[in-house]
């Protein structure tokens, strides 16, 4: 087992490693290619230019488009993993999404039935697509929805993550990450307002969808295990800044059995599994632990989540990951501010282990230089035994 694997596993088991581990969250073209010293292909320009966009409008629905989109995702994910190694992170959230399909240059959807608008980062690159609606309008629409591309995902993941693990796995603890979670798929494919109505009036319909996505996710975890990955990040945004999107009891009623099945599958295969949710998750932390997760990310400070309070609540049951601000500290803060933010985080929850320092999410405004300062600060403040008062 490599040093980075020992470091991350020790923290996830809520023990003190040699140093506080770090987790990479970079999912933006510009930052990744800056790290690698590569000149990015300005794909966004082709989508925004009025002449080339017309050509894309014509080609997008064609049968070859999914092949080229999936191949471009492979290149991006490989580069993103190489960038994490180049930066010197211990672990990386590695999302590989061969799921996009284009109606035209402005409108796209994923294989789960969720509709998006294309976005751009202002530097000629494609940005994270913006969700707009769902295409699953009824139980009949769900039955008729083509699921073959979803069912091919485990094979695609086994093949591609095997390559990543072979090339980078001795230098990086790779967390396999599906593009979203079971909650996100069920509400996103039908729209949130209709989802809320379906909870009351079409629960059997929701339960069929939840069962399908649970089975699929378990197969994907098996595929990641076959590829040799040591960990999973189950990403599913369950909260607003004000608190959970559903009553915690309702979450458990609809999704509790599914999440427990996911964690049991991962643990049976010898993998660690962490849950990611943006928003204020205080009221969900005990539930995350009850479901069997090893850790929780993102613990957003801008949503009012404080590390010390989270550790007091569940620090004996969950490893804490994240809490580094992506609105100022990792965007335009001074070096001293970045160092101080890292010092405060480690001082708040580092003692005794059980903390992995990371940004709360990815964002096109994040600065590579400030990420480097963050990693430098971890070297200064995160070595065990921690300094007195740290």
pLDDT tens figures, 330-342? 999 999 999 999 9
Task: Please say whether the beta carbons of 108 and 183 come within 8 A.
Answer: no
pLDDT at 373: 98
Six-digit token string for 375: 């990693």
pLDDT tens figures, 150-162? 999 999 999 999 9
pLDDT tens figures, 176-196? 998 899 999 999 999 999 999
| Nearest CA-CA partner of 323 in 347, 295, 301, 351 | 301
Order of all β-strands in the sheet with 130-134: 100-102, 107-110, 114-117, 130-134
Answer yes or no: is pLDDT of 139 > 60: yes
Q: Would you place residue 59 in the very low, low, confident or very high pLDDT band (cuts 50, 70, 90)?
A: confident
Does an H or E element contain 236, and which?
Answer: none
State the first-to-last Cα distance of the chain, in angstroms, to the nearest integer.
29
**Is the torsion defined by CA of 284, 286, 292, 298 positive or negative?**
positive
pLDDT at 55: 87
| Residues pairing with 234 in the sheet | 275
As a whole-number percent, the residues of the chain with pLDDT over 70 amount to: 99
CB atoms within 10 A of CB 211: 13
Q: Is 21 helix (H, G, I), strand (E, B) or coil?
A: coil
Answer yes or no: is pLDDT of 325 > 50: yes
DSSP 66-119: HHHHHHHHHHHHHHHHHHHHHHT-SEEEEE--TTEEESSSSEEEETTSEEEE--
Answer yes or no: is pLDDT of 122 > 80: no
Question: For the chain, what is the mean pLDDT?
Answer: 94
Answer yes or no: is pLDDT of 65 > 90: no
pLDDT at 51: 85
Q: Would you place residue 389 in the very low, low, confident or very high pLDDT band (cuts 50, 70, 90)?
A: low
- Name 2's Cβ contacts closer than 8 Å, sequence gap at least 6: 170, 171
- Residues 112-136: what's their mean pLDDT? 90
pLDDT tens figures, 293-316? 999 999 999 999 999 999 999 999
Answer yes or no: is pLDDT of 52 > 90: no
pLDDT at 210: 98
| Nearest CA-CA partner of 321 in 243, 231, 241 | 231
- CATH of the domain spanning 3-37+66-101+135-381, picked from 3.20.20.210, 3.40.50.970, 3.90.10.10, 3.40.50.2300: 3.20.20.210
pLDDT at 126: 82
Q: Would you place residue 390 in the very low, low, confident or very high pLDDT band (cuts 50, 70, 90)?
A: very low
Q: Domain spans of the chain?
A: 3-37+66-101+135-381
| Nearest CA-CA partner of 23 in 345, 377, 360, 277 | 360
pLDDT at 363: 84
Alpha-carbon span 282 to 313, nearest angstrom: 8
Alpha-carbon span 213 to 228, nearest angstrom: 23
- Residues 368-386: what's their mean pLDDT? 97
Alpha-carbon span 127 to 29, nearest angstrom: 8
pLDDT at 179: 83
């Amino acid at each position: 087992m490599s040093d980075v694997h020992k470091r991350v596993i020790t923290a996830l088991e809520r023990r003190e490693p040699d140093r506080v581990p770090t987790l990479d969250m970079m999912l933006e073209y510009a930052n990744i290619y800056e790290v690698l010293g590569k000149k990015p292909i300005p794909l966004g320009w082709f989508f925004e230019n009025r002449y080339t966009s017309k050509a894309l409008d014509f080609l997008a629905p064609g049968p070859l488009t999914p092949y080229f989109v999936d191949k471009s995702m492979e290149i991006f994910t490989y580069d993103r993993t190489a960038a994490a190694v180049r930066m010197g992170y211990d672990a990386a959230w590695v999302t590989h999404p061969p799921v996009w399909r284009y109606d035209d240059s402005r409108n796209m959807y994923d294989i789960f039935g969720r509709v998006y608008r294309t976005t751009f980062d202002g530097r000629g690159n494609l940005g994270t697509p913006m969700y707009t609606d769902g295409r699953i309008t009824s139980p009949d629409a769900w039955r008729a929805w083509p699921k073959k591309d979803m069912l091919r995902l485990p094979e695609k993941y086994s093949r591609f993550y095997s390559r990543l693990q072979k090339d980078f796995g001795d230098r990086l603890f790779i967390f396999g990450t599906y593009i979203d979670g079971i909650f996100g798929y069920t509400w996103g494919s039908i729209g949130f307002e209709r989802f809320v109505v379906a909870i009351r009036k079409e629960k059997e319909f929701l339960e069929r969808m939840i069962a399908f996505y649970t089975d699929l996710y378990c197969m994907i975890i098996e595929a990641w295990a076959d590829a040799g990955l040591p960990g999973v990040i189950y990403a599913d945004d369950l909260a607003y800044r004000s608190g959970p999107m559903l009553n915690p009891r309702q979450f458990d009623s609809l999704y509790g059995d599914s999440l427990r099945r996911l964690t049991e599958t991962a643990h049976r295969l010898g993998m660690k599994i962490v849950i990611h949710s943006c928003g204020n998750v205080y009221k969900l932390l005990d539930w995350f632990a009850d479901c069997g997760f090893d850790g929780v990310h993102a613990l957003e400070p801008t949503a009012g989540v404080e590390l010390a309070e989270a550790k007091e609540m569940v620090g004996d049951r969950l490893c804490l990951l994240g809490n580094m601000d992506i609105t100022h500290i990792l965007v335009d803060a001074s070096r001293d501010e970045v160092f101080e933010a890292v010092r405060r985080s480690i001082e708040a929850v580092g003692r005794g282990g059980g903390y992995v320092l990371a940004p709360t999410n990815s964002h096109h405004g994040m600065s590579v230089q400030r990420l480097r300062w963050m990693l430098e600060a971890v070297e200064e403040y995160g070595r065990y035994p921690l300094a007195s008062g740290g």
